[in-house]
Amino acid sequence: MTTMNISLPDSLKHFVDQQVTERGYGTSSEYVRELIRHDQDRQRLRGLLLEGASSPPGAPVDDDYFAALRKRAQGQ
C-alpha cells in the first residue's frame, strides 16, 4: 500500500477525527478510503446514467415485459 500525506485545516481535521470516532472507523485513513470509494461509485454511476441518456430509446415496457421478467427470475 502506498502512503499519501495530506494537510488539513484544524476544522477539517477535527471533523475527520469526529467521524472516525462516531462512525466506528479504526483510523482516519479508513475514513478517507471510504470517501474515495464512494466518490468512485458516484462517478461510475454518473457515467452509466450519461451513457443511458445518450443511447437510443429501447422497447416500451408493458405488462408482458414484467410477466416475462418474473418468469425469468423464477427460473422458468
What's the pLDDT score for residue 60? 86
Q: 40-71, pLDDT tens digit by residue?
A: 999 999 999 999 999 999 888 999 999 999 99
Q: Categorise residue 12: left if φ over 0, alpha if ψ from -120 to 50, beta otherwise.
A: alpha
Is the pLDDT confidence value at 14 over 80?
yes
Cα atoms in the Cβ-side hemisphere of radius 13 Å centred on 33: 10
Q: Give me the pLDDT at residue 76, please.
A: 74
Average pLDDT over residues 17-35: 97
The residue ranges of every structural domain in the chain are 10-55
